[in-house]
């Protein structure tokens, strides 16, 4: 069975111990590390392959959501916090779930089950050169050619796959989708959009025009995006 490698980013020892205990009870999870602050977590992410971060919001040095915004290709994230106030901001960052402390095991299990692949998760053809992805929509298996895709747009827990002729809505996060598509064809230009590089009609320092759509380039993405356009 596929295991998801986990990082706990939590400055409260008791809360971290609870999460470690819960992870040990789930056979498809494996705790790789516990970090008390975002600076150390950034260093660890450069050294270890992490699939899931359990992210507290109120952390020393850098707040949890600010830390998440610094990651260009973040792993899947489950927020763990005592505060309700940040739920909207968290879901705009495509988190998998938002858990309020104290976290019960059943609620934890419900959240991590969202990490597992299901029938709505796009499946990429395993060929020498990936040409398309397949998605389940309304119980139908639909093939979408990469050459037809203009961009992917995050819509909370869904992603809109936009082509010149049609838009497909798939239940997956944008960060999960980013892992499924070839990096040489697509580039993430802000937290809500991934665009097809060859479909870009024009661009400025702050926006991209593609297929009649104008997509802003995120401020935190400009330094890495603009040299690639």
Give the model confidence (pLDDT) of 33-75 as tens digits. Answer: 999 999 999 999 988 899 999 999 999 889 999 999 999 889 9
pLDDT reading at 129 higher than 60: no
Band of pLDDT at residue 117, cut at 50, 70 and 90: low
Average pLDDT over residues 103-121: 76
Of 218, 175, 156, residue with least CA distance to 74: 175
Share of the chain above pLDDT 70, in %: 93
Q: What is the pLDDT of residues 155-198, one digit of tens each?
A: 877 899 999 999 999 888 888 888 778 888 899 999 899 999 99
Asked whether 16 and 55 are in contact (CB, 8 A), the reply is no
pTM given for the model: 0.53
pLDDT reading at 135 higher than 70: yes
Band of pLDDT at residue 211, cut at 50, 70 and 90: very high
Average pLDDT over residues 98-109: 92
| Predicted pLDDT of residue 2 | 66
What's the CATH architecture for 4-115? 3-Layer(aba) Sandwich (3.40)
Q: CATH 2.40.50.1020 spans which residues of the chain?
A: 124-228
| Predicted pLDDT of residue 82 | 93
Q: CATH 3.40.50.2300 spans which residues of the chain?
A: 4-115
Band of pLDDT at residue 114, cut at 50, 70 and 90: confident
| Predicted pLDDT of residue 116 | 62
CATH code reported for the domain at 124-228:
2.40.50.1020
Q: What does the mean pLDDT of the chain come to? A: 87
| Predicted pLDDT of residue 128 | 37
| Predicted pLDDT of residue 130 | 61
| Predicted pLDDT of residue 228 | 78
């Amino acid at each position: 069975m596929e295991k998801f490698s986990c990082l706990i980013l939590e400055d409260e020892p008791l809360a971290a111990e609870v999460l470690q205990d819960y992870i040990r009870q789930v056979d498809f999870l494996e705790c790789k590390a516990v970090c008390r602050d975002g600076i150390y977590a950034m260093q660890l992410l450069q050294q270890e392959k992490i699939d899931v971060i359990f992210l507290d919001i109120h952390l020393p040095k850098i707040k949890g959501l600010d830390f998440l915004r610094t990651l260009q290709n973040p792993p899947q994230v489950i927020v763990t916090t005592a505060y309700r106030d940040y739920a909207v901001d968290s879901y705009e960052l495509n988190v998998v779930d938002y858990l309020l402390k104290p976290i019960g095991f059943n609620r934890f299990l419900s959240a991590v089950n969202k990490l597992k692949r299901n029938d709505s998760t796009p499946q990429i053809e395993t060929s020498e050169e990936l040409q398309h992805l397949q998605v389940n929509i309304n119980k139908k298996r639909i093939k979408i050619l990469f050459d037809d895709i203009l961009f992917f747009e995050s819509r909370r827990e869904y992603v809109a796959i936009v082509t010149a002729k049609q838009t497909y809505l798939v239940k997956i996060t944008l960060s999960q989708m980013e892992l499924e598509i070839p990096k040489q064809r697509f580039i993430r230009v802000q937290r809500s959009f991934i665009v097809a590089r060859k479909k870009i009609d024009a661009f400025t320092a702050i926006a991209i025009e593609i297929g009649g759509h104008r997509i802003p380039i995120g401020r935190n993405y400009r330094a890495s995006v603009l040299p690639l356009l």
